[in-house]
């Protein structure tokens, strides 16, 4: 990272504070962990649609026991058994998204060792399946694979957009912390300057009072100004120290550092186009993706209820070759065909309207979600419109506040000069000072409002209007 924080005091711009926050703050570290979790969840989802290769090995399975068996004459007896099984298999399987079923190919080899007992002689048997093809197909049921492929990619896009939003939220919070400290620093600087002026005016007032040019009440007023300036300095120091610590904690910086901040007097001359803002908000924000996911999930629930209300079943099949023999080569020398087909159906006859009620509930829920999604989408777009409109007004307010502050400075300077030569009294001087201080605060606050609103619009649209680029983070 380009920014150094090794020194105890350093000057930072607003861009540097945002960069620090977006790389070092605890909020961003947490967002990165969430993003990493979303990435691996997506990788796990993608694996469901790729071929799976499995190797199974049993070395060995030994059984020495006494067990109960049924005899041909219908009676039962206990006999001693002693055998060992070893096997190895290799399989390749693939889910079929279009149908919701799966197909597979496999090969396996097993060896059975029967050890000699009082009832049986020792024996070795091999069984081979050189090649097997099979499938498992649900019938008339709900296809979860198809719906996952529609919803899960949107969930990952939503997670990516949410990460970018958290980055922009961090930037917006950084602007707030930046100006809290900056305003505290400027207030302290102003309080120190006013203390110097108050001391000079008090000395001048003492001289004038000694020769009878001002009343004692005016001298007391000047003395109160000195005491008030001392109080203002103490309060400003405490506010500055507090804001400095809050910024340091927000950035996650452990070492002591006295931030010196650079006031961003020059604001960029940009215009946020309403249609462009809405376009990027619709395509980038997680809110829009979340609404799409909610609608798809409601539709999925409706389709599942419909599928569960009707006939269901499954069709499974397997075809291949198999061989038996007392030796390894014998198990492959004479191979026999092997076919297995199974059809299972479940036909509901009477459930007293339970399935129909479940479907109607899901259908009604879909209509409700569809209505709410439409309303929330309108509210979201209105929030974007309002923010863009407010931004234009705030830009104008910055220029007006600047001119007002400059005018109040000139008025105060002229009033102070006239007080020195005795043309105005101390009350008029204090009024000019109060006016100047108020305009200074308004000017700084207008700059704060500008940057806060700009980063709010960035968060709403995930688009950088100064550099003209999207802010959505992507992981491939």
CA distances from 253 to 19, 230, 242 (A): 13, 32, 15
Predicted pLDDT of residue 475:
40
Q: Which two tokens stand for residue 45?
A: 């989802």
In this structure, are strands 52-70 and 9-12 parallel, antiparallel, or unpaired?
Answer: unpaired
pLDDT at 7: 46
Q: Which residue has the tokens 């309080």?
A: 191
Q: Return the pLDDT at 473.
A: 65
The pLDDT assigned to 440 comes to 87
- Helix/strand/coil for 362: helix
d(CA 427, CA 425): 6
* Every domain of the chain and the residues it spans: 9-45+147-295+363-470, 54-96+101-142+313-347
Name the residue with tokens 């234009």: 392
C-alpha closest to that of 92 among 53, 43, 122, 121: 53
DSSP-assigned letter for residue 82 = E
**Structural contact between residues 17 and 178, judged by C-beta atoms closer than 8 angstroms:** yes
Both structure tokens of 281: 């908000």
Neighbours of 158 (CB within 10 A): 20
Superfamily designation of domain 9-45+147-295+363-470: Outer membrane efflux proteins (OEP) (1.20.1600.10)
d(CA 419, CA 429): 7
pTM of the model: 0.79
Residue 132's φ and ψ, nearest 5 degrees, are -135, 135
Q: How many CB atoms lie within 10 A of CB 372?
A: 14
Report the candidate in 174, 205, 242 with the shortest Cα–Cα distance to residue 17.
Answer: 174
Give dist(CA 318, CA 103) in Å, integer: 10
Q: What is residue 4's predicted lDDT score, i.e. its pLDDT?
A: 47
Low pLDDT (below 70) residues in the chain = 1-10, 119, 473-476
Phi (first) and psi of residue 171, to 5 degrees = -60, -45
- CA–CA distance, 310 with 131 (Å, rounded to integer): 37
Count CB atoms within 10 A of the CB of residue 116: 10
340 close to 106: Cβ distance less than 8 angstroms: no
pLDDT score of 5? 52
């Amino acid at each position: 990272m380009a920014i150094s924080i090794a020194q105890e005091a350093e000057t930072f711009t607003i861009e540097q504070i945002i960069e620090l926050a977006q790389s070092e703050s605890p909020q961003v570290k947490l967002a990165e962990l969430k993003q990493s979790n979303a990435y691996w969840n997506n990788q796990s989802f993608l694996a469901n649609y790729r071929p799976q290769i499995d190797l199974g090995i049993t070395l060995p399975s030994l059984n020495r026991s006494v067990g109960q068996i049924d005899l041909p004459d219908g009676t039962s007896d206990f006999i001693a058994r002693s055998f060992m099984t070893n096997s190895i298999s290799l399989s390749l399987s693939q889910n079929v998204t279009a149908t919701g079923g799966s197909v597979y190919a496999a090969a396996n080899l097993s060896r059975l060792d029967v050890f000699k007992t009082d009832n049986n002689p020792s024996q070795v048997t091999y069984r081979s399946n050189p090649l097997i093809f099979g499938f498992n197909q649900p019938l008339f049921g709900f296809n979860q694979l198809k719906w996952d492929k529609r919803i899960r990619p949107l969930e990952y896009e939503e997670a990516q957009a949410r990460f970018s939003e958290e980055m922009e939220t961090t930037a917006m919070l950084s602007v707030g912390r930046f100006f809290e400290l900056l305003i505290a620093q400027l207030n302290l600087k102003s309080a120190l300057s006013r203390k110097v002026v108050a001391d000079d005016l008090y000395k001048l007032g003492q001289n004038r009072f000694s020769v009878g040019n001002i009343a004692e009440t005016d001298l007391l007023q000047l003395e109160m100004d000195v005491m008030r300036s001392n109080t203002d300095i103490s309060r400003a120091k405490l506010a500055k120290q507090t804001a400095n610590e809050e910024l340091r904690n927000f950035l996650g910086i452990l070492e002591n550092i006295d931030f010196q901040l650079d006031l961003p007097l020059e604001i960029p001359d940009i215009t946020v186009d309403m249609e462009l803002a809405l376009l990027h908000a619709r395509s980038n924000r997680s809110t829009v993706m979340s609404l799409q996911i909610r609608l798809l999930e409601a539709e999925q629930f409706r389709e599942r209820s419909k599928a569960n209300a009707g006939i269901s079943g499954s069709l499974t099949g397997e075809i291949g070759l198999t061989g038996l023999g007392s030796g390894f080569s014998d198990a492959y020398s004479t191979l026999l065909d092997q076919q297995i087909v199974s059809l299972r159906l479940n036909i509901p006859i009477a459930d007293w309207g339970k399935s129909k009620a479940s479907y109607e509930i899901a259908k009604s829920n879909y209509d409700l979600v569809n209505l709410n999604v439409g309303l929330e989408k309108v509210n979201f777009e209105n929030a974007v419109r309002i923010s863009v409109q407010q931004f234009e007004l705030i830009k104008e307010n910055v220029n007006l506040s600047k001119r007002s502050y400059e005018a109040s400075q000139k008025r105060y300077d002229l009033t102070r000069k006239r007080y020195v030569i005795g043309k105005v009294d101390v009350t008029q001087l204090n009024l000019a000072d109060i006016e100047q201080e108020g305009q200074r605060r308004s000017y700084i606050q207008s700059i704060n409002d500008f940057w806060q609103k700009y980063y709010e619009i960035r968060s709403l649209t995930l688009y950088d209007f100064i550099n003209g680029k999207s802010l959505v983070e992507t992981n491939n």
